[in-house]
Structure 1
Amino acid sequence: MSLSYEMENSGAWQTYLAQINRVAPYLEEDLIPFINTLKRPKRALIVDVPIVMDDGSIQHFEGYRVQHNLSRGPGKGGIRYHPDVELNEVMALSAWMTIKTAVLNLPYGGAKGGIRVDPRKLSPRELERLTRRFTTEISPIIGPQIDIPAPDVGTNADIMGWMMDTYSTIKGHTVTGVVTGKPVHLGGSLGRVRATGRGVFVTGLEVAKKINLTLEGSRIAVQGFGNVGSEAAYLFHKANAKVVCVQDHTGTIFNADGFDVKQLQDYVAIHKGVAGFPDATLIEDEAFWTVEMDILIPAALEGQITPERAQKLTAKLVLEGANGPTYPEAEDILLQRQIMIVPDVLCNAGGVTVSYFEWVQDMASYFWTEEEINERLDKLMIKAVEDVWHTADDKDCSLRTAAYILACERILKARKERGIFPG
């Protein structure tokens, strides 16, 4: 990323505010007085997380839980463990969850949390201590009807299991619905791990049809090869597209004939990264953005597509598997170049959708098959694509603006109808 651009446009929160400002002119007049509720989080908690390390020393970590908006239901959003976690980022991620749940018309608001830590530098016991202490610190503001965490970057099902157990211990009884993304035998849902990647594929497939982009033989470039990027890549590979370039924290690999994605998944499971994969050429990281491609899937962190990179992209379709990967100024360039973007708040909403299914299953103590879950997921994702596409046609705007129009109308109507207390 261009350092000068990053410094001048520091903050995912600023990206989110720019997106809200862009959608304001499209909103119904009676909703405009309420739009400022979207420009500030409802609640932000910063906590100190002290733990005893394996060597007996005590270290302190900073943790966050932000609830952006709860007008449509409990907060929903992941917990991120990453050395770059900070309040500005968590605020933006919580706000994008508000929009995302509303685009899919799920009965949730938006929230997000995280700890500034490199989880790879902690032992399993240190990671558990960190998680349990953090859960204790944020326990007053979470709960199955208040705010429901889930996994995100650097966290997984095991961590969600520890969170659920810690919260349940505080409450004195088992509360499976306090988090989603748990191990299946602890009340987790089948299909949850692959849900976000599947949603990227389903939305990409639907939009490709609408822009007459033939999937068979299409060249795919994927940034990030975790749960989201690897599953999306695998499903596109199964649909006879060619995954020609993959980038992760270990490097960037290229093969013009396409990778066997299942073999790449197996390799990464062992070697913890794509670098060194056989039958691949290791290229410079910045060269990723100039590879000949038809579809780009940014599935890593936010702020990856800068104006400079947007000028170089050869893709016809961008599927935002990550949250906030595209700067607003970069999006303007992509749209001017007639490159279609499926925005994050629609494209990567498969994870929160199956999290919703998990929460419903926990509340009912009745669980569905993976086939049922995938069928319900596909149906909701396709319906959301149709709603957003219709709005974009009606308002003559981008898919992102259309998604925000839909979401903001739903959120602000709920805010208006609930009223302001005290009046």
Structure 2
Amino acid sequence: MKRTNTEWENTFFKETQANFERVGKAMQLDENIFLRLRVPEKALIVSVPFRMDDGHVELVTGYRVQHNDTLGPYKGGIRYNPHVNLGEVAALAMMMTWKSAIIGLPLGGAKGGVAIDPIPLSRQELQRLTRRYTIEILNFIGPETDIPAPDMGTNEQVMAWLMDTYSQQKGHSVPGVVTGKPIDIGGSLGRKEAPGRGVVYTIISAAEKIKLKLDSKTRVAVQGFGQVGGAAARKMEKIGCKIVAVSDLSGGVYNSNGLRYDSLMNYLSQNKFLKGYPEGDFVTNEQLLEIDCDVLIPSAIERVIHKDNAKKLKCKILAEGANGPTTNEADAIIKERGDIFVIPDILANAGGVVVSYFEWVQDLQNLFWKEKEINHRLWEMMSDAFEKVYATAQREKVDMRTAALMTAIRKISTAMLTRGLYP
């Protein structure tokens, strides 16, 4: 098939697209569906000027990519990171399509981003940046068209500014335009912890399949002690496992006797980064991935597990809390090894979009649920999705990543063929 060079074809997007092509061809996917799903439906690039505190104006680039909305409105987070580009956002938008389909949500896939490091920005600068970016993508988003959420470098406060800016332009409050908001303005209980909690729910299911007992002898390493990794570590500790290593941007800490979640959080509240944490030995982010453990949770950035370290992994379960943490070359090596149970990203970290969906539904209904009900529904949807993907893997005799993609592509393909092509 002839390939076209486009702006979004960076390495991450090419690998994400290659995974789709590999599985689509194996499934003998309808040619019409194959062509339409391998690229996004829409991609928006915007210039985002905003004023700094000293009065001068900075200009950065923003993106919003909408991959597919066959099953429902586009859905996906917004990240602030200096390395954001169109290819990365396009890859993540495609992955959001697969996540929604695997779980069975009436949502499509999208992603947004701004190429900036938010850490040095003051609160006022961050607010001005967010409000201007919102204005630039205003006609691209909406509660019935495209619903953003937090991602790397953004949080519930950023979502509150986005929601307020959108609402000011519409002349009335529109809480359903975004998820991951503060509870006071229509956010959902359990949303912040949902991505990490969802990772743990899939680990529980995987452990049952390989007969791994999750107890005080189970060693867990978490790369990326942020919103996803932090919540996952907390939940793993709560069910009785031992957290032996965690890391953030500054590096990591390792203690074979275990690290205490509360102690780590107390240290971070005073020092911002893990570097210097006294109750363990310093390790780099690269070294953490090779630590001898039972469960490894990469939950930071993409492409951290590659051909050079894939053979050095010493875990029994690899639960991908981050998006795209394993390159295609590394995935092939892990598959050949055959001694690691991989829970792919589009399944493992889908907890965030599940509770985002719950928040969106609650906003539209003006009826809010209790946290216990939300967590129970999250458990049901994540465990059901895991069983569905695992059954596909067993039936088709394929690995879990392939099975997850098969599950998603089959659902979307059926819907696209049923709807037909307009005009």
The TM tier, using the shorter chain, reads over 0.9
* Residues in 2 aligned to 1:40 and 1:393: alpha-carbon distance in whole angstroms: 29
TM-score by length of 2: 0.96
Deviation of 1:10 after TM superposition, in Å, equals 5.2
Residues 70-117 of structure 1 show CA distances to partners (whole Å, capped at 9, x for unaligned) of 111100000000111110000000000000100001001000001001
Deviation of 1:277 after TM superposition, in Å, equals 1.5
* Residues in 2 aligned to 1:391 and 1:331: alpha-carbon distance in whole angstroms: 19
The answer as to whether partners of 2:200 and 2:235 remain within 8 angstroms in 1 is yes
* Residues in 2 aligned to 1:179 and 1:328: alpha-carbon distance in whole angstroms: 33
Q: Which residue of 2 aligns with 1:374?
A: 375
1:174 aligns with 2:173: yes
Deviation of 1:287 after TM superposition, in Å, equals 2.1
* Residues in 2 aligned to 1:22 and 1:235: alpha-carbon distance in whole angstroms: 35
Deviation of 1:22 after TM superposition, in Å, equals 2.0
User: Identity percentage over the alignment?
Assistant: 48
Deviation of 1:28 after TM superposition, in Å, equals 5.4
1:256 aligns with 2:250: no
Deviation of 1:46 after TM superposition, in Å, equals 0.4
The answer as to whether partners of 2:10 and 2:88 remain within 8 angstroms in 1 is no
Q: Which residue of 1 aligns with 2:213?
A: 214
Q: Which residue of 2 aligns with 1:158?
A: 157
Cα root mean square deviation, aligned: 1.2
Residues 218-266 of structure 1 show CA distances to partners (whole Å, capped at 9, x for unaligned) of 1111100001101111111122211111121111211011101221122
How do residues 320-331 of structure 1 correspond to structure 2 at under 5 angstroms?
320-331=320-331
1:12 aligns with 2:12: yes
TM-score by length of 1: 0.96
* Residues in 2 aligned to 1:196 and 1:279: alpha-carbon distance in whole angstroms: 27
The answer as to whether partners of 1:26 and 1:405 remain within 8 angstroms in 2 is no
The alignment of Structure 1 onto Structure 2 pairs a total of residues equal to: 413
The answer as to whether partners of 1:63 and 1:115 remain within 8 angstroms in 2 is yes
**2:147 counterpart SS class:** strand
* Residues in 2 aligned to 1:268 and 1:345: alpha-carbon distance in whole angstroms: 29
Q: Which residue of 1 aligns with 2:81?
A: 82
Q: Which residue of 1 aligns with 2:43?
A: 44
1:334 aligns with 2:334: yes
* Residues in 2 aligned to 1:113 and 1:240: alpha-carbon distance in whole angstroms: 37
* Residues in 1 aligned to 2:420 and 2:283: alpha-carbon distance in whole angstroms: 56
How do residues 21-60 of structure 1 correspond to structure 2 at under 5 angstroms?
21-27=21-27, 31-60=30-59
1:96 aligns with 2:98: no
How do residues 193-212 of structure 1 correspond to structure 2 at under 5 angstroms?
193-212=192-211
Deviation of 1:32 after TM superposition, in Å, equals 4.0
**2:308 counterpart SS class:** helix
Unaligned runs of 5+ in 1: 1-8
Residues 189-230 of structure 1 show CA distances to partners (whole Å, capped at 9, x for unaligned) of 000000000000000011111011121111111100001101
* Residues in 2 aligned to 1:55 and 1:171: alpha-carbon distance in whole angstroms: 31
**1:84 counterpart SS class:** coil
Bigger shift: residues 147-156 or 326-335 = 326-335
Deviation of 1:25 after TM superposition, in Å, equals 3.5
1:337 maps to a residue whose letter is: R
How do residues 282-321 of structure 1 correspond to structure 2 at under 5 angstroms?
282-321=282-321
Unaligned runs of 5+ in 2: 1-8
